[in-house]
Amino acid sequence: MKTTLRIIHAVLNGARVNVSIVDNRFAKIEPEADAAANPESEDSSVPVLDAEGMWIVPAFYNAHTHAAMSLLRGYADDMELFTWLNEYIWPVEGTLTPSQIYEGTRLAILEMIHSGTVFFNDMYWNPEITLRAVEEMGVRAALGRLFIEESPGKILERNLCSTRALESAYRSSTARDRIQLTYAPHAIYSVSGITLKRVAEMAKDAGEMIHIHASETSKEVEDCAREHGMSPIAWLDTCGLLTSRTVLAHCVHLSNRDVAILRDRGAVACSCPWSNAKLCSGQFNYRQVVEEYRCRVALGTDGCASNNNLSMFDEMKAFSLLAKARSGDPKCAPAASVLHIATKHGAEAFGIHAGVIAEGWLADCLLVNPASLPLIPMHHLEANLVYSADTSCVDTVICNGRVLMRHGVIPGEGEIIEAARRAAVFPKSSQ
């Protein structure tokens, strides 16, 4: 097979290496000295990327977001979740056009690429529009068939139409190696048990993943106990929704029994620390979920309306520091573990063979510039990436063997930014 990209003079685990990519996988990683002693036959048709002295590291996998909400960045801030949702976000979302969703999604993908993210797990209106943006911009995504009910058992017609459009667009897509479909019931307070059970059956039959908000607020937990006599996690388990192919966003209000259920089912708890902190929804209990029960965990940003950015660097730092503060133990959530959660574990959650720079793995990676101010001095790469790095440190982003950003530049980004500015016209919030 023919090499499709060579990366030369990169630094991996402290050693200078040359990397050959064939199609969409790392095919050969060899010490630079060995490559010099045994040069490959020159092929001028193979692009060569000179990474002189840059660190090659895994890319990030954003396990929960609402990409098009980038247009709502700063629209409604400093309020409680259900006030924020019911009085501000849901009303304006009801006015969004397909064009606005498209431009908001492109803006989000642009921001994610700049910050080193090559995959996002999305739950939003009109996912067929999101699929088009993902195809065009070269990233990976899991796109949800959104379920929200107007009454128990009756799904909004808008969701049903979008599901049909999404499945049609996916069947004809040329990017199915980068895109997967999920079942995305919004939450237990917007989807009844009747529908949750149907979704569980459909996902099982299709062999596809489930993506849902769960145990995000104390109110959700209290309401579920009052209505069903159990916690949201137990209720979802009763409905058959919890399997090794389920990703639950937030999970900040979990009992020991809840965590044991997640562990036993192999479900993935996705923490979104900045969004939860901003909305005062609660704090993820790293010590309980990760260290004591050894559950599967991933990281997400949530949407820009509640974060207000899509940087996984920010999420890693918040995730680690909040875990330390909650546990009272500075050794809790060490940098190496957090970095793995944001990279390899996030990819694993969605069955993507990536998140590791090694031969045979999918060619998703970042070139990080060690001369970036936040990385000086470089005593420990993992600690610097988690505690001090920001988007300015990312020089190059590669997804599926294709260069998406080089020297901080993404082709066409100016047009994407201007189109998003024009699209972000909404009624003024009254806050």
Burial of 255 (0-12, 13-18, 19+ CB in 10 A): middle
20 Cβ contact list (under 8 Å, min separation 6): 3, 5, 6, 26, 27, 28, 29, 40
For range 294-315, the mean pLDDT: 97
Does residue 37 carry a pLDDT above 80? no
pLDDT at residue number 81: 80
CATH topology of domain 5-58+356-414: Urease, subunit C; domain 1 (2.30.40)
User: Given this chain, do its domains 5-58+356-414 and 60-349 carry the same CATH topology?
Assistant: no
pLDDT in tens, 382-412: 999 999 999 999 999 999 999 999 999 999 9
Asked, as a colleague might, if the bond just before 273 is cis with ω within 30 of 0, I would say no
Angle at 341 between CA 232 and CA 319, to 5 degrees: 70
CA 161 to chain centre: 25
In this prediction, residue 52 has a pLDDT band, given cuts at 50, 70 and 90, of very high
- 307 near 278, Cβ under 8 Å? yes
Average pLDDT for 208-217: 98
What is residue 375's predicted lDDT score, i.e. its pLDDT? 97
pLDDT at residue 430, as a whole number: 52
- Specify the pLDDT at position 346: 98
Sorting pLDDT into bands at 50, 70 and 90, what band is 335? very high
pLDDT digits (tens, 9 = 90+) for 126-184: 999 999 999 999 999 999 999 999 999 999 999 999 999 999 999 999 999 999 999 99
Residue 3's pLDDT band (boundaries 50, 70, 90)?
A: confident
Distance of CA 284 to the CA centre of its chain: 17
pLDDT of residue 33: 76
CA–centroid distance for 406 within its chain: 21
Do residues 105 and 137 touch, judged by C-beta distance below 8 A?
A: no
When pLDDT is cut at 50, 70 and 90, the band that residue 38 belongs to is: low
Residue 268 has pLDDT above 90, yes or no: yes
Is pLDDT of 199 > 90?
yes
Phi/psi for 135 (5° steps) reads -55, -45
Q: Work out the average pLDDT over 200-214.
A: 98
pLDDT for position 80? 84
Confidence of residue 427 (pLDDT cuts 50, 70, 90): confident
**Across residues 250-278, what is the average pLDDT?**
98
What average pLDDT does range 213-226 have in this prediction? Answer: 97
pLDDT band at 45 (very low <50, low <70, confident <90, very high): confident
Q: What average pLDDT score do residues 284-307 get?
A: 97
Supply the pLDDT for residue 160.
95
Domain boundaries, the chain: 5-58+356-414, 60-349
Q: In sequence order, what are the beta bridge partners of 31?
A: 17
For the chain, give the mean pLDDT: 95
Domain spanning 60-349: CATH superfamily: Metal-dependent hydrolases (3.20.20.140)
Give the pLDDT band (50/70/90) at residue 34. Answer: confident
Neighbours of 108 (CB within 10 A): 32
